[in-house]
Structure 1
Amino acid sequence: MIKTSHTIPIILAAFLLSCTGKSNGQPQQSTEKAVVEQPHTAKQQRLAPPLGYEKVKLTAGTFGSFLRGLPLKPAGSDLHYYNGSIKQRNYAGAVVDIDFGHGEVEQCADAVIYLRALWLWQTKLYDKIHFNFTNGFRADYARWAKGERIHIDKKTWRCWYSKDTAADYSYKTFRKYLNLVFTYAGTASLEKELTIITGKELQVGDVIINGGHPGHTVIVVDKAVNKKGEAVYLLAQGYTPAQEIEIFNQWFSINPQIKYLDTPDWYFRGNYAKRF
């Protein structure tokens, strides 16, 4: 039985939702120094915060704690595209050792979606796993896990649910749900689902995003503060062409009230700071 119906734009979503980087012709700005260099010490912790900063305390089991504890490939690992080719040898940051970055549709917004959804799935918060397609159709994992499937008419791009199979909460079924979301969601849809951060402070798990066609997004995976209360943040991203999730080897000073942020692959502008 059809329960929900929407229309998807005819242009292929996976193509529209790509990130194209700084070659978009936008001028540089220097509103504030975005990158805080790490000190070079012999016994430096990997991805350690700058000298004088300490990582904030995070409650075990939270999304922030999950992001801080992401498994990493060994230091000096190459950063790969989805097809196995090398984007950067001996990557200076960190390559996240996780089931992502091996499919062509797994791009920048999908990296954020995957990390958020995986934490919710692992903590069994199934009802909170839902993302909108670009046309507004809501894809609910809870319905998917109960055996409902999303169907798409490729002629009219109408979407609907129907009960097709038995309930299954396995990772394999969860991953199939995400593959569909990755195909039809992106920065434009994800940005609309997030809440604008009105203060000056970010938290681990917050999202930096400019939605669009193209657009880009990164996610805060760690935070540190100094004795003055000044904060710096560690950022992770996926990209286009699809690649493994990378964590930059830089800590960023970010004030959402300054409507500009320079990152290695994108100049974010406007109300770019968002929260789930």
Structure 2
Amino acid sequence: MKKLLVFVGIAFITAILFYQFKPIEYAKSTLIPTAYTASYINKDGLTIKNRVNAPKGYKRVPCTAGSFQAYLRNYKLKPFGTKIINYDDTEYFWQRGHIGVLDIPVPKNGLQQCADALIRIRSEYLWDNNRKGEIGFNFTSGHYFSWEKYAEGYRPNIKGNSVSFHKTAYKNHSKDNFYKYLNIIYMYSGTLSLYNELPKINNSKDLKIGDMLIKGGSPGHIVMICDEAINASGDKIYLLFQGNTPAQSVHLVKNLEDTTQSPWYHLEKDAVIPVSNYTFYNSKFVSFK
């Protein structure tokens, strides 16, 4: 009887995960018209900005050189047609929800899932721009752990919800050690901790590149705005990328609900927003500090 109950429980959880993360079936069979592809997608483009053209009547919102916004807009992409690969080198089961794969490695340990991928991208930006002192995240327990403390040799001692930090290692400020720090963050942080920690965006008109659409929880999901454009009426549209569970290639997503403007999205707070293989039913937005 106990084994039967365990089996039923696993089947129930699996069904929930499939429902949350399944591709949008009605859109899977919808092919993007050739004219649309030619006008919006530049297959030779190897950055987000160069891969996707702004629609007629829209222009990209200016951003400051060296800013996180410019960093994301100009993020390198792998050649057009690159497949999404899972952390174990297998192909993701569905390859029709993206128009680009970001040039970012997927660790073989399986830890770099949806929230983790965005944490990595933000952390690498801060590292590359000599802002290492700003790298730090809350665990799901609420305890803050910075790169600086890790580099000084401090490590977490975790017992349930009890977390303490002790100096148990030598100082090491190397890039290799930085990625070991990120593995700790991947293990103990996620969509729930980011939702609780980060500032909320209450007006969708304030959205900008680098902000995130989030559902905090287990399971939860998160995607990041990586480009934006505006028309003369002030109407804004956005491009999105995401990591996923299982850990896999970070990818620039199509808009499967509206192929006339895909991959651009209109984003509204509290709206239902399908994004590739996940649907946000009550959309909320957060921003890195």
Q: Shorter-chain-normalised TM-score: which range?
A: 0.7 to 0.9
What letter is aligned with 1:162?
H
SS of the equivalent of 1:40 reads helix
2:219 to 214, 226, 249: 214
Which position in structure 2 is the counterpart of 1:23?
19
How many Å separate the matches in 2 of 1:234 and 1:265? 16
Establish whether residue 196 from structure 1 lines up as the match of residue 205 from structure 2: no
Which position in structure 2 is the counterpart of 1:98?
104
Q: Please state how far the C-alpha of 1:118 moved relative to its aligned partner.
A: 1.2
Which position in structure 2 is the counterpart of 1:179?
183
Q: Which ranges in structure 1 are unaligned for 5 or more consecutive residues?
A: 1-17, 29-35
TM-score (norm 2): 0.77
Q: Which ranges in structure 2 are unaligned for 5 or more consecutive residues?
A: 1-13, 25-31, 43-50, 255-262
SS of the equivalent of 1:131 reads strand
How many Å separate the matches in 2 of 1:140 and 1:89? 36
Establish whether residue 140 from structure 1 lines up as the match of residue 146 from structure 2: yes
From the two aligned structures, give the one with the greater strand fraction: 1
SS of the equivalent of 2:38 reads coil
What letter is aligned with 1:143?
K
Does the Cα contact within 8 Å between 2:39 and 2:53 map onto a contact in 1? no
Establish whether residue 252 from structure 1 lines up as the match of residue 265 from structure 2: yes
Farther off after superposition, 45-54 or 171-180: 45-54
What letter is aligned with 2:282?
G
Instruction: Specify whether residues 120 and 269 from structure 1 end up closer, same or farther in structure 2 by C-alpha distance, changes over 3 A only.
Output: same
Task: Report Cα offsets for 1:18-73 as digits up to 9, x if no partner.
Answer: 9x7661499x9xxxxxxx99933279532222232221111111111111121111
Which position in structure 1 is the counterpart of 2:62?
57
Farther off after superposition, 242-251 or 86-95: 86-95
Pairs aligned (count): 247
TM-score (norm 1): 0.80
1:79-90 equivalences in 2 (<5 Å): 79-87=84-92, 88=94
Task: Report Cα offsets for 1:96-126 as digits up to 9, x if no partner.
Answer: 1113354312111111111111111222222
From the two aligned structures, give the one with the greater helix fraction: 2
How much is the aligned-residue C-alpha RMSD, in angstroms?
A: 2.8
Which position in structure 2 is the counterpart of 1:263?
275
How many Å separate the matches in 2 of 1:150 and 1:50? 48
Task: Report Cα offsets for 1:175-229 as digits up to 9, x if no partner.
Answer: 0000011011111111111111122321000010010111110000111112222
SS of the equivalent of 1:93 reads strand
How many Å separate the matches in 2 of 1:126 and 1:187? 22
How many Å separate the matches in 2 of 1:89 and 1:218? 18
How many Å separate the matches in 2 of 1:211 and 1:186? 8
The higher-RCO structure (CA 8 Å, 6+ apart) is: 1
SS of the equivalent of 2:195 reads helix
Aligned identity (percent) is 32
What letter is aligned with 2:79?
P
Does the Cα contact within 8 Å between 2:98 and 2:276 map onto a contact in 1? no
Establish whether residue 77 from structure 1 lines up as the match of residue 82 from structure 2: yes
Establish whether residue 231 from structure 1 lines up as the match of residue 243 from structure 2: no
Farther off after superposition, 190-199 or 259-268: 259-268
Which position in structure 1 is the counterpart of 2:116?
110
